[in-house]
Structure 1
Amino acid sequence: MSSATSTRQAETVERLFAAGLQELRQAGHEALTIRSVAVRAGVSSATAYTYLASKNHLFAELFWRHLAEMSAVRTTGSRAERVQEAVRGLTTRIAEEPELAAAVTPALLGSDEDVARLRLRIGAEFASRFETALGSGAEAEDAVREALLLSFSGALLQAGMGLMTYDEMADRLAPVVAVIVREE
């Protein structure tokens, strides 16, 4: 494959993701189709399906990219403060794109192979942020990290089901973090 071909493919992928986010914001996740994203991106449906297995794949990829743009986790202050700030950073970032948040919950529950791969990357991002916030010696605290991940993912699911808003998540999780993360 030539450099020009790989550059053109990368540009096509970026156009598809930009068009997908625009379409999601305007049409919503239920009305969005890969065909409508392709039209918005100025490519054929066949080209779009070359890069996107499904709309769930699109939503998971957009969510992953949205998380990947976050700033680093703070490493100063108490452990509980750092973890609470990491939770607040994640929930704030998720709440910035409400249509994406609404789309990604059902998407991540799917069995699509591309979604499964991204689900692991997203989970690893959450785990890495919590591990960084916990600080040194965190490797020995697998149960603490696991409790944080389970609490956070449970809150994400509840927000996705409409039982709380994404904006409320950080406040609801703050006392949970305080119970899980004991100061040294």
Structure 2
Amino acid sequence: MSTPVEIESTRRRLNPQQAEKIVRMTEAAVEIVSAEGFDRLSVRDVAKRAGVAPATAYTYFSSKGHLVAEVFWRRLAVGVPEPDPAQSAHERVAQVLRGVSMVVAGEGQLGGAVTVALLGDDPESEHLRLRIGGFIHQRLAAAVGDDVDDPERIVDALQMLYAGGLVTAGMGHLTYEDTSERLVAAAELLMGPQK
């Protein structure tokens, strides 16, 4: 049985009060990153804005990278639903790729902050990077299904596509909206004609 994202964290299961603190801190982090950028973000400032003691904040988040990776993880977990089995494989893949690429669209500097955070080397960010990768792999595998030749290779290639697309958007070279549509177009080429 899966655990709702609201009551889990990288380090432990949360009671309702702890879960509320996490929500306040992740919201404060987004506000700070949007206004001032990732470089100006600190766990201490997030704690202050969220009304949480700094020592308490550090029990949940080891670094600002960990905090931003948590923001992305939470948004993915609620923003990218299971693919609809009534749709074709092409439609399911497009739904997943659009969902993943649009999670931070319109959020100013948050996309770049997520890129930096997920490339960080602290253990908590690495844990979330693996969790996020596994989640996206699962969604893509469910979307591809058995409707294409060699589904494992297609899923692997789709993972490379989305990773490259999100880094490109996170660096500011394309908008997330443009990235989303380019990912869908590339996936259609990769998957070939619909069956």
Normalization by structure 2: what TM-score? 0.82
Using the alignment, how far apart are the partners of 2:167 and 2:182 within structure 1?
13
Deviation at 1:138, TM superposition (A): 7.3
Deviation at 1:74, TM superposition (A): 2.5
SS at match of 2:83: coil
* 1:59 match: 68
Q: 1:111 aligns with which of 99, 117, 121?
A: 121
Residue identity opposite 1:97 in structure 2: E
- Tell me: CA distance 1:161–1:23, structure 2 relative to 1, closer, same or farther (3 Å): closer
Stretches of structure 1 lacking an aligned partner (at least 5 in a row): none
- Tell me: CA distance 1:149–1:33, structure 2 relative to 1, closer, same or farther (3 Å): same
Residue identity opposite 2:183 in structure 1: L
Q: 2:48 aligns with which of 39, 50, 57?
A: 39
Percent of aligned positions that are identical: 38
- Tell me: CA distance 1:40–1:80, structure 2 relative to 1, closer, same or farther (3 Å): same
The 5 Å alignment of 1:117-132 reads 117-132=127-142
Residue pair 1:75, 1:135 contacting (<8 A) in 2 also: no
Using the alignment, how far apart are the partners of 1:139 and 1:119 within structure 2?
29
Stretches of structure 2 lacking an aligned partner (at least 5 in a row): 1-13
* 1:94 match: 104
Higher gyration radius (CA): 1
Q: Does 1:16 align with 2:25?
A: yes
* 1:28 match: 37
- Tell me: CA distance 1:169–1:53, structure 2 relative to 1, closer, same or farther (3 Å): same
- Tell me: CA distance 1:96–1:131, structure 2 relative to 1, closer, same or farther (3 Å): farther
Using the alignment, how far apart are the partners of 2:77 and 2:107 within structure 1?
14
- Tell me: CA distance 1:130–1:55, structure 2 relative to 1, closer, same or farther (3 Å): same
Using the alignment, how far apart are the partners of 2:123 and 2:68 within structure 1?
14
